[in-house]
Every structure is written in C-alpha cells, then in structure tokens.
Amino acid sequence: MDAPPPPPPPPPPPESSPTAVTAAANVADDPLTSPYASMNSYCHDLSALQDLACRGAWRTIVDKVARSRSLSLLSKPHEHLIYLTFNLLSLVKLRRYPDAQQELRTLDDDLDSKQYLYESYPDHYPNHKSGSMVPFALRWLHAHLPFTLGDRQLALDRLYTLLHFIRDKKLSRNLDSTSEVSLTLWKKREQFVVNTIISHHLSQKEFKVCLSLLSAEISKNEDPLLVSKLGYVQMQYGDLDGAKRSFEVVEKMVMGSDSENVELKNLLSRNKALKY
C-alpha cells in the first residue's frame, strides 16, 4: 500500500505581513546576516556557501565561486557581490593576499557608488527597498586587506571611513524606521571596527589615540569589556594607578549585575591577574 503524500507546505506570509516587512528591511541592510529571509531565495545556493564558510572549507568555496561564474549561474548584480565577498574572504583565509587584491580590484574603490545601489537596477529589483547591496563583510574586507599587504595607513583610512559609514549612515538614521535587530547588529559592528582601529594604534604604541577612542565609546556605553580594554591600554604606557582604577570600576560593574556570567567572571580573573 502506497504511503499517503506529504502535506503541502504552508503558504508564504503576504507581502504586507510584519514578518515580510521585517525580512525586507533586514535583507536591504545586509543579506548575509538576515535572520528572516530565505538565503537561497535571495541568492543562488547561498546556504551552501554559508555552510562551507562555517566549516572553514575555503578552497571549496573558491572552486564553487569559479564554477558558478563560469556557468553564468549568477543573474543579478547583488549575487555577484555576495559571491565575490565569499571568494575574497576565502582568499584572505588561505593567505592568498595578492589574489584577494586582484579580486578586489574588479570593484569600484568607492563602495557607495551608484552602481552598487538596488535602485540603479529597476529591471532587476522593481519592488525592492532602496539602498546599498554591498554586504558589510565586503566593506570590512575592503578595509582590512591593505593591512595584510603592508599598507597600514590605507587600512586605517578605510577603517575610519567604515566607522564613519556605520555612524553617519546607519546609527544616525531615524530610529523609528529601523528594526531592533538591525540596530543591535550595527552597534555590534561599530564596536568591532572601533576595537580593530584601537588594536592597530596600540601595535604602534599610539596610546593617546587609543585613549581618545575608548573614552568616547565608554561615554556612550559603560561596557565592562571596554573599561577593561581602557585598563589594558593604561598599563601599556605605564599608568598603573589608572589601570587599577579602571579594573576596580569593572569589578563594581560586574558585581552589581549578573555575577554568574562566566565571561564576566573570566574577565575579572584576568584583570586581577594583571593588577598583581
């Protein structure tokens, strides 16, 4: 006796539903990090690329991108950008920096150029929200790659440009029109870029710049990790009393919050070890 056929899949939510609206907003912000949209419906075989990246199969990604390009499987501009991003990331992970540089040269150096806007291609995206189709990962790699090739100043210039982009074009927008998921994501990206910039300056013992950046961040968000980093910088240039005060502030912050948090406990232990 034949088994009964499986039940049909549930219908997709209507375009006007809150889920659909939220998905569209997040895809427009960054298709590679949208928690709502179907990846494969947005870009050819994107879920496979994501899975390969999570497993660190960088050579396989390079081969897959080359095959997709040779077979003309990428039909829309944003798909080419997404595949280029995965290819660029893979080349950097494989330490093939000259090849990564060659890949990056296929793009306009201005990632805010009109050619990277959805509205520049009305035939491909007739009902799509306007905005940039450049993934954040591509912007990050564009800033990071010069550092791997020995051009520290260009890397810093691009990192500061990226920080300006995040603050002026993402975090300063009308908050009522920005989803909570998107806002949280861009705040994390801002902190990530700031920490990277601080690390670059710290490697050159440019302590005043580090202190200025950290003080500005702490004034907006008294995060234990940021205050601890301030203490580390103070120790680097010999301000042991200042570092001790910073670590004491962190201890008070942690004890006054969730003291069962393992990460915060480890942070306190590390700070205490540095004090003594």
pLDDT at 234: 92
Residues paired with residue 117 on neighbouring β-strands, in sequence order: 132
CB of 6 within 8 A of CB of 109?
Answer: no
- Map residue 75 onto helix, strand or coil: coil
Sketch the domain layout of the chain as residue ranges.
205-276
pLDDT at 30: 55
Q: Output b/e per residue, 75-88; b: 16+ Cβ within 10 A.
A: ebbbbbbbbbbbbb
- Looking at 138-188, which runs of residues are DSSP E strands? none
pLDDT tens digit at each of 276 positions of the chain: 444 444 443 333 333 333 333 333 344 455 444 544 567 777 888 889 999 999 999 999 999 999 999 999 998 999 999 999 999 999 999 999 999 999 999 999 899 999 999 999 999 888 877 889 999 999 999 999 999 999 999 999 999 999 999 988 777 765 555 678 788 888 889 989 999 999 999 999 999 999 999 999 898 888 888 899 999 999 988 899 999 999 999 988 888 776 677 888 888 888 888 877
Q: How many residues does the chain have?
A: 276
Neighbour-count burial of 60, counting CB atoms closer than 10 A to its CB (0-12 exposed, 13-18 middle, 19+ buried): middle
Residue with tokens 């069962």: 260
Q: What is the CATH number of domain 205-276?
A: 1.25.40.10
pLDDT at 15: 37
- Cα separation, 222 vs 172, in Å, equals 20
